[in-house]
């Protein structure tokens, strides 16, 4: 990435900028498997913003206190009567029958039945300690149960992992005006921790950045098929605390949507996006029930589970591998043949909006890991999360485009959502129709949206010859 872009980042994002040095970072965090948004939060605390140097001694001491490398030591210290402070990922389950707020910290061996959140901590953080996965700094101690016969681990203090309580979209829009579109795309790639110079052209860059659409646009449903080594898992597992990555194993309808026996919402309820990684390795139990629930949810964001109506704004993504020929193109023109049999149905797949051609992307190697100044991942992910509820760009699309009469509703919704996502990502400075560069809108937003939805339609036709693959005409006003 050019030096002048780095200087612009430091000028216009001074409080949000961070110097990335992969070799040093890997050494500092050795033995601690942390996502990028946590690493950047910690690095920012010990960074000299003038020189980019990190106080490695101070950071290491802090890590030793709150993220110990020896898993068993945490339980040993708790059992010995010590109060333990951890920066950790934990899972909350509210048991309505028992009236208990329970938590588990899988990385340190604390099970759900062992952890209790007392009322005073829960009440202090109304709306924060809800069902699902959280990150935060927690203080733990061992206390006896009410009957005095058993013990439990109690969360006696909690600080949410939220370095940015709010982010200003207007500030982002103002800063964006100082970057060209090419420079902005490079900034976004560097924020994802990839070196823009590792991509051959703007087409590759846009393909890679398309992965971020589900971070910013609610209920966008995406399929990506790609060869191994293109960075799929890293993007969705490391850049945001608002997503959930399902990697292999068994998946049930209760786990995804709603568990009637536990009266607990599934992972789709409390996340911005859910990604099924290595879809070929995931075992879907009760496939007919899951398929029926998915069809309804993908269509409207709602489904009914055991007479309970379930709704969410979570986007879904299917990621899988696809065999390629020597020219790195799919061996078969029927891409969806790489999906599990339960997903090879046109009525289900037509409910997905967007397709990412992962074979167009470069294989990630060490030279592509970014080194230099960029915006930190935690700020970046908060911006994308905040964008989800901003409807200005959707309204702007309505002013810019009209569809041919009798256009298929699924096609028009898909095109609008993809194009709106691109506007949020690439052109946050467009606040009114007078701001819009229509040539760039067509090149970077509208045409890619039509193309990506068109692949879904074409592949559905490969499954069902009676399926109509023609895309509607879209006109710029």
Place of tokens 């890679």: 208
Chain mean position to CA 316: 10
- Among 368, 398, 426, the domain-final residue is 368
Sign of the CA dihedral 439, 445, 448, 453?
A: negative
Chain mean position to CA 157: 28
pLDDT of the residue at 223: 97
Q: How confident is the model at residue 23 (pLDDT cuts 50, 70, 90)?
A: confident
Q: How many domains is the chain partitioned into structurally? A: 3
Q: How confident is the model at residue 71 (pLDDT cuts 50, 70, 90)?
A: low
Considering the domain architecture, whether residues 119 and 241 belong to the same structural domain is answered as: no
Paired with 224 in beta bridges are: 319, 356
Give every CB contact of residue 286 below 8 A, 6+ residues apart in sequence: 252, 253
CATH of the domain at 88: 2.40.50
Complete DSSP assignment for 257-316: TEETTTTEE-TTTT-SEEEEEEEEEEEESSHHHHHHHHHHHHHHSEEEETTEEEE---EE
Measured between alpha carbons, how far is residue 426 from residues 257, 271, 378, 388, 444 in Å? Answer: 32, 23, 18, 14, 8
Segment 251-286, tens digit of pLDDT = 889 889 988 777 778 889 889 999 999 898 888 888
Q: How confident is the model at residue 465 (pLDDT cuts 50, 70, 90)?
A: very high
Considering the domain architecture, whether residues 360 and 416 belong to the same structural domain is answered as: no
Segment 342-371, tens digit of pLDDT = 888 999 999 999 999 999 999 999 889 999
Considering the domain architecture, whether residues 220 and 347 belong to the same structural domain is answered as: yes
Segment 184-215, tens digit of pLDDT = 999 999 999 999 999 999 999 999 999 999 99
Considering the domain architecture, whether residues 249 and 285 belong to the same structural domain is answered as: yes
| Residue 105 pLDDT > 70 | yes
Residue 229 lies in a domain: yes
Considering the domain architecture, whether residues 395 and 320 belong to the same structural domain is answered as: no
Segment 224-254, tens digit of pLDDT = 999 888 888 889 988 998 999 998 788 889 8
- Determine the average pLDDT of the residues in 7-19: 91
Other beta carbons within 10 angstroms of residue 279's beta carbon come to 22
Q: Which residue has the higher pLDDT, 445 or 108?
A: 445
Considering the domain architecture, whether residues 333 and 398 belong to the same structural domain is answered as: no
Considering the domain architecture, whether residues 414 and 357 belong to the same structural domain is answered as: no
Q: Look over the chain and give the mean of its residue pLDDT values, rounded to a whole number.
A: 91
Residue 60 lies in a domain: no
Whole-model pTM? Answer: 0.90
CATH of the domain at 335: 3.40.50.300
Residue 57 lies in a domain: no
Beta-sheet pairing, 302-305 with 308-311: antiparallel
Considering the domain architecture, whether residues 302 and 213 belong to the same structural domain is answered as: yes
| Residue 165 pLDDT > 70 | no
Q: In whole angstroms, what is the distance from residue 255 CA to residue 264 CA?
A: 9
Query: Exposure of 309 by Cβ count < 10 A (0-12 exposed, 13-18 middle, 19+ buried)?
Result: exposed
- Determine the average pLDDT of the residues in 391-415: 96
Considering the domain architecture, whether residues 215 and 344 belong to the same structural domain is answered as: yes
- Among 338, 368, 398, the domain-final residue is 368
Domain limits for position 96: 71-160
Give every CB contact of residue 386 below 8 A, 6+ residues apart in sequence: 166, 167, 169
For residues 401 and 42, the answer to whether their CB atoms sit within 8 Å is: no
Residue 120 lies in a domain: yes
- Determine the average pLDDT of the residues in 77-90: 90
- Among 160, 188, 219, the domain-final residue is 160
pLDDT of the residue at 313: 96
Place of tokens 């059992």: 79
Residue 110 lies in a domain: yes
Chain mean position to CA 380: 11
User: Where do runs of H (alpha helix) occur along 301-354?
Assistant: 346-349
Q: In whole angstroms, what is the distance from residue 55 CA to residue 164 CA?
A: 22
Considering the domain architecture, whether residues 423 and 344 belong to the same structural domain is answered as: no
Q: In whole angstroms, what is the distance from residue 311 CA to residue 281 CA?
A: 27
Considering the domain architecture, whether residues 244 and 325 belong to the same structural domain is answered as: yes
Residue 23 lies in a domain: no
Residue 334, token pair as written in the block: 């029927």
- Determine the average pLDDT of the residues in 56-63: 90
Q: In whole angstroms, what is the distance from residue 175 CA to residue 178 CA?
A: 6
DSSP structure class, residue 470: P
Residue 407, token pair as written in the block: 């256009």
Residue 62 lies in a domain: no
pLDDT of the residue at 397: 98
Considering the domain architecture, whether residues 142 and 280 belong to the same structural domain is answered as: no
Beta-carbon-side half-sphere exposure of residue 392 (alpha carbons within 13 Å): 17
Residue 444 lies in a domain: yes
For residues 251 and 318, the answer to whether their CB atoms sit within 8 Å is: no
Question: Quick one: what percent of the chain has pLDDT higher than 90?
Answer: 59
């Amino acid at each position: 990435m050019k030096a002048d872009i780095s200087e612009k980042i430091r000028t216009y994002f001074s409080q949000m900028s961070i110097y990335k040095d992969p070799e040093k970072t890997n050494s500092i965090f050795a033995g601690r498997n942390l996502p990028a948004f946590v690493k950047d939060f910690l690095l920012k605390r010990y960074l000299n913003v003038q020189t980019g140097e990190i106080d490695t001694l101070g950071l290491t001491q802090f890590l030793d206190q709150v993220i110990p490398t020896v898993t068993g030591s945490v339980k040993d210290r708790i059992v010995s009567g010590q109060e333990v402070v951890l920066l950790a990922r934990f899972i909350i389950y509210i048991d309505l029958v028992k009236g208990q707020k329970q938590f588990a910290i899988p990385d340190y061996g604390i099970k759900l039945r062992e952890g209790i959140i007392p009322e005073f901590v829960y009440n202090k953080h109304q709306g924060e300690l809800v069902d699902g996965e959280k990150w935060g700094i927690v203080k733990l101690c061992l206390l006896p149960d009410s009957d005095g016969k058993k013990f439990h681990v109690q969360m006696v203090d909690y600080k949410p992992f939220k370095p940015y309580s709010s982010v200003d979209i207007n500030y982002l829009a103002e800063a964006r005006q100082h970057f060209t579109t090419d420079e902005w795309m490079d900034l976004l790639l560097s924020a994802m921790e990839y070196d823009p110079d590792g991509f051959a052209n703007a087409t590759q860059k846009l393909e890679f950045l398309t992965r971020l659409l589900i971070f910013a646009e609610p209920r966008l449903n995406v399929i990506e098929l790609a060869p191994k080594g293109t960075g799929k898992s890293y993007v969705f597992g490391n850049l945001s605390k608002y997503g959930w990555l399902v990697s292999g194993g068994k998946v049930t309808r209760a786990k995804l949507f709603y568990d009637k026996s536990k009266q607990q919402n599934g992972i789709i309820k409390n996340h911005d996006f859910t990604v099924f990684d290595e879809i070929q390795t995931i075992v879907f139990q009760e496939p007919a029930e899951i398929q029926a629930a998915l069809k309804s949810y993908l269509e409207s964001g709602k489904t009914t589970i055991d007479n309970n109506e379930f709704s969410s704004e979570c986007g879904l993504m299917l990621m899988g591998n696809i065999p390629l020929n020597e020219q790195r193109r799919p061996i078969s023109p029927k891409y969806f043949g790489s999906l599990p049999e339960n997903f090879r149905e046109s009525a289900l797949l037509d409910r997905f909006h967007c397709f990412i051609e992962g074979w167009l992307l470069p294989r990630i190697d060490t030279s592509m890991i970014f080194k230099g100044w960029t915006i930190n991942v935690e700020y970046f992910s908060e911006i994308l999360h905040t964008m989800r509820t901003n409807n200005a760009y959707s309204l702007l699309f309505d002013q810019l485009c009209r569809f041919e009469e009798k256009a298929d509703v699924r096609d028009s919704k898909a095109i609008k959502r993809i194009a709106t996502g691109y506007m949020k990502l690439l052109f946050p400075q467009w606040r009114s129709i007078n701001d819009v560069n229509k040539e760039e809108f067509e090149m970077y937003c509208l045409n890619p949206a039509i193309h990506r939805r068109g692949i879904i339609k074409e592949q559905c036709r490969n499954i069902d010859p009676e399926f109509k693959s023609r895309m509607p005409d879209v006109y710029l006003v």
